[in-house]
Structure 1
Amino acid sequence: MAEALATCDLARVLEQVRLVRGWSQGELARAVGYSQSWVSRVVNRQQSLTVDQVREVAGRLEIPIHLLRFADSAAPERGAGPTRRREFGRAVAAAALASAPAARSQRADVDENTAQTLRAITGGQRRLDAASPSRDLARGAVAHVELTGRTLMRAGRTPYAPQIAAAASEAAGFAAWLHADMDDAGSARGYYRTAVRNARLAGEPLLCAYMLGSLAAFETDAEDAASGLALTGEAARLLGTGVHPTAAAWLACMRAMAHATLGDAPAADQEIARAERAVARSDNTDPPWPWVFPFTPAKVAGYRALTGVRLHRPDEARAAFGEAFGRAAPSAKQGASLMIELARTRADAGDVDEAFSLAAESLRIAVRFRSDRLVSRVRRFRRAYRGPSARCVKELDEQLAATLT
C-alpha cells in the first residue's frame, strides 16, 4: 500500500483496500459510490481518474489525507493535463514518504492485549450466531473484519503482528460463514480467502489448515467437490504428520464429504474410517486452537450420515443420524440443516409424507432465521424429487412460493 501511495497508483490502492477489508468488488463499488463496472475498469487500468475522482474516492475510503497531501493548495486545477498530473504524482510520492514516521507512530495503540481483545469480539459474535439470523450479525461481523484489517496494518512489523493476523483470520472466517448462510457465495468465498491469507501471515499452520478446510467444505456444499478435495489436500500438507487427532479426524471428514459428493463411495468410506480411528485415540482430549471442542465419535457419525445421504444409502444414513444426534439437541439452525438431510434419506426410502414434513419444518426455521442457505437447500431437495405428486408436495410448493414472494 505504501508503494502504491508513493506512486499515486490508485488502481493498486483500490485493490489493496478491497483485499485488506475482505470486500467483493461489488462491495468496494458501493463504498466508493461508483458502479462495479467502473471499479473493474479502474482496477484493470482501463479507466483513468480525474483529480476530483481521486479526492472523492480517497475520502470515501477514509484514506488519511496526509498520506496523499491532497489539499487544495497541492492539487492541480480541474482539467489539468497529463504533465500536471505527473507533477501531482511526484508530489504525492514525496508526501507519502515524508509521512512514514507519522504512520509508524500510530502503532503505539497496538500491544500484547490487542489480539486477545479482537478475538473476544469474534467469540461473542459466534455465540450469538446459534440463535440469531445471519443478516442481523453480518454488518457487525464485516465491520469487525475491517477493524482487524486496519489494526493489522497499524501493527506493521511489531512483535504483535502475527497474533493480530490470526485474530483477523478468525474474524474473516466468521464473516465468510455468515455470508454462506445468506447464500452470498461470492462474498463468502472472498472472506474465506482473506481468512486463509491472514492465517498465512500469522504463521499458524493449524489455523491455515482450518480455514482451508472450511473453504473446502463451502466449495463442496456449493457442488464443486473437486475444488474441495484440492483444498483439503493443501490443508493436509500444512498439517503434516503427528497432527492432533481432532484436526486429523475433522479434515478426514471434509475429504469424505467431497468424495461422497463426487460419488466415490470407497474413498468416502476410507476417510470416515480414518476419522473414527483418530477420535478413538487416547490423546483426543483438549482440542488444539482454533478448534473449540474435541472431535468425538458422535460428530464422526454425523458426517457418516451426511455421506450416506450423498451416496443414496438411506438406511445407513438414518442409523448414523440417530447415533449422532440421539442424545444431543442441536441448535435451531443446525437442526434445520439436519432435517433437510433427513428429508433426503426419507425420500430415498420412499417415505414421501415424512420427507416433505421434515422439509417443511426446515423451511419454517429457515424463514424464521432468514437463512437463504437453508432455503436454497429446501429448494434443492424439492427439485431433486421425481416421485408422484401428493398433498404434502403441493403444500411445500405453496410454502416455497410464499417464501420467495
Structure 2
Amino acid sequence: MPQREGVLPAEFWSRPDLAAALSTCDMPAVVAAVREARGWSQGELARTVGYSQSWVSRVLNGQQSLTIDQVREIARLLGIPVHLLRFSGTGGRPAATAAPSPRPSGRAGGADPARRRENAKAAAPPVPLPGAAPAGNGIDESTAPALRAITGGQRRLDASSPARDLAAAAVAHLDLSGRTLKRAQRSPFAAPVAAAASEAAGFAAWLHADMGDLGSARTFYRAAIARARQAGDDLLDVYMLGSLAAFEIDADDPALGLGLAQEAGHRLGEGAHPTARAWLSCVRAMAHAGLGDAAAARHAVAAAEADVARPDNAEPPWPWVFAFDDAKVAGYRALTSVKLRDPGSAHAAFSDALGTARPGGKHSAVLMVELASARADSGDIDEAFRLAGDALRTGAAFGSERIIGRVRRFRRRYEGPSARCVSRFDDQLAAVLTGSTPA
C-alpha cells in the first residue's frame, strides 16, 4: 500500500533497483520510485517539488536535465537521502545529471533501468565537486547563482532608483551573461546560466519600458523568452511571456497582451506555484479590462484571489522576487476597475492595495495616477488632480516615462469642467515635458 505521509523506510532505499539508481544519480528513476511509493499523481508530485506538471513529466521521461541545485532541492522535498546520490568519482557528494535518452513509453521510471543508467553515464559529462576549482572555461556551479544575485540586487534597487541610473549597468550585466553563456555551452551548467541570462534580459526590458524605449524593451523581452526556452525552464518561460504580455497591455494593445498571456497559461500547466498562477490571472484581467470585457476581468481577479489565499503560497518561486499577496491582487483589481470605468469598485480596491501606508516609489505612483482616474470618474476633481500631480512629481523624479505616460493619458481622458486645479496641473505637466522647471 502506498505510504503518502511520513519518512519512507530505510529498506525502500536499499532496494536493488533504487540502490543502482542512487549510485548513478539516475534522478528520473529515483523520482518515479518515490512517486509510486507515495501513490501520487504527476500533479501531486509537481505541487510537492514546486514545478509545473509538464516539467515533472519531462524529468520522469528522461528529457529534462537537472542542475546540482535542482537535484539537492528535489531530494530535500522528496526525502531522498542526498548522501546516497553520486556519480563515480564524486565521493558520494550530490551532482547534476544530464538527462538520459528518452525512455520507451510505459510506467514512469522506465521499463529498462539498466539501459537508462548506461545512457546516463554516457550522456553525463564530468561534474566538478562543489567548491572545487572551476574548469578551464571558468564555469562552475556557482556561476549561475552569482549572475542571478546581481540581477536580483538590481531589481530590488529599481523600486527606489531611476531606470536611467540602472540601465547601463543592467545592459552591461546582460552582455556579461551572454558571454558567460557562450563559455558554458559545453558544460553541465549551460541550462542554469541560460536561465540567469534570461532574467538579466527581462530586467533590461523592464528598465527600457520604464524609460519609454519600447523598441529596445521588446527586443530584450524576446531575448529573455529565447534564453528561458534554451534553459528548458517552463516557469521562467511563463514569467517572461507574461511580462511581455503585461508590457503590450500597458502599450495599449490588450488583444496582443491577452494572446501572450493565454499562451503563458498553456505553458504553465497544472500544479504550478500559486504566485505564478495568481500573477498570470492578474495579467489576463488587465487585458480583458482593456478590451472592455468586465465579466472576464472580474473572473480572472477572483481566480488570483483564490490562488493567493492558498496555504502553499508562501515564499515566491524564482524568478519572482517579491511575494504576491492580497495587496498586490487588490492593486490589479483597482487597475481593472479604472479601465472598466467602475469608480466605486476602484476606490475600495485602492484602499485595500494602499492600506494606511503613505504612497511612495514608482509602483505606488502608478496606483496613484489610476486612483486619480477613479476620483475624476466619481466627480472629485480636486482630489483627482492632486493625486495626478503627486504621481507626475514621482515620475519626473525617477525619469519614468511609463509613469509620465500614464499621467498624460489621465489628462487626455478627462473631459470634465475646467477648474483652477486643472489649470495648475496643466502648468505642472507642461513644465515637466519641456524641462523648464522641476515638477
Q: TM-score, normalised by structure 2?
A: 0.67
Asked if the contact 1:107/1:154 (under 8 Å) is kept, the reply is no
State the one-letter code of the partner of 1:394: S
User: Following the alignment from structure 1 to structure 2, what is the Cα–Cα distance between the partners of residues 293 and 379?
Assistant: 29
- 3-state SS, counterpart of residue 416 of structure 2: coil
**Which residue in 1 is equivalent to 2:107?**
none
Q: Distance in 2 between matches of 1:229 and 1:223?
A: 11
Aligned equivalents of 1:353 and 1:294: distance in 2? Answer: 34
More displaced, 290-299 or 179-188? Answer: 290-299
Q: Find out whether 1:361 has 2:390 as its counterpart.
A: yes
Cα 1:396–1:331, aligned 2, differ >3 Å: closer, same or farther? closer
Asked whether 1:291 is paired with 2:320, we answer: yes
Indicate the RMSD between aligned Cα atoms, in angstroms.
Answer: 1.5
Identity value in percent: 64
Q: Does 1:249 align with 2:278?
A: yes
Q: Unaligned regions of 5+ residues in structure 1, if any?
A: 1-104
Cα distance in 2, alignment partners of residues 181 and 404 from structure 1: 16
Partners of 2:325 and 2:363 in 1: how far apart? 17
Task: Mark the CA change 1:287 to 1:106 in structure 2 (over 3 Å): closer, same or farther.
Answer: closer
Distance in 2 separating the partners of 1:357 and 1:117: 44
Measure, in 2, the Cα distance between the counterparts of 1:230 and 1:163: 28
| Pick aligned residue for 2:408 from 379, 389, 392 | 379
**What SS does the corresponding residue of 1:108 show, helix, strand or coil?**
coil
Deviations along 1:288-322, whole A, 9 cap, x unmatched? 22123332222211111111010000011010110
Aligned to 1:69: none
Runs of 4+ residues over 3 Å off in structure 1: 327-331
Q: Does 1:178 align with 2:207?
A: yes
Pair 375,166 (structure 1): closer, same or farther in 2 beyond 3 Å:
same
1:41-87 CA distance string (max 9 Å, x none): xxxxxxxxxxxxxxxxxxxxxxxxxxxxxxxxxxxxxxxxxxxxxxx
Counterpart CA distance in 2 for 1:272 and 1:155 is 41
Which runs of 5 or more structure 2 residues have no equivalent in the other structure?
1-133, 435-439
Q: 1:340 aligns with which of 350, 369, 372?
A: 369
Separation in 2, partners of 1:216, 1:200: 17
Aligned residue pair count? 301
Alignment of 1:198 with 2:230, yes or no, is no
- Determine which of 271, 274, 277 is the counterpart of 2:306: 277
Other-structure match for 1:261: 290
Shift of 1:331: 4.4
Q: Deviation string for 1:214-247 (max 9, x for gaps)? A: 1100100101011111111111111111111111
| Aligned equivalent of 2:150, options 121, 124, 130 | 121
Q: Distance in 2 between matches of 1:192 and 1:329?
A: 33
Separation (CA, whole Å) in 1 of partners of 2:206 and 2:394: 18
> Following the alignment from structure 1 to structure 2, what is the Cα–Cα distance between the partners of residues 284 and 106?
39
Which amino acid in structure 2 is aligned with residue 376 of structure 1? G
* 1:327 to 1:207, Cα distance in 2 relative to 1, 3 A: farther
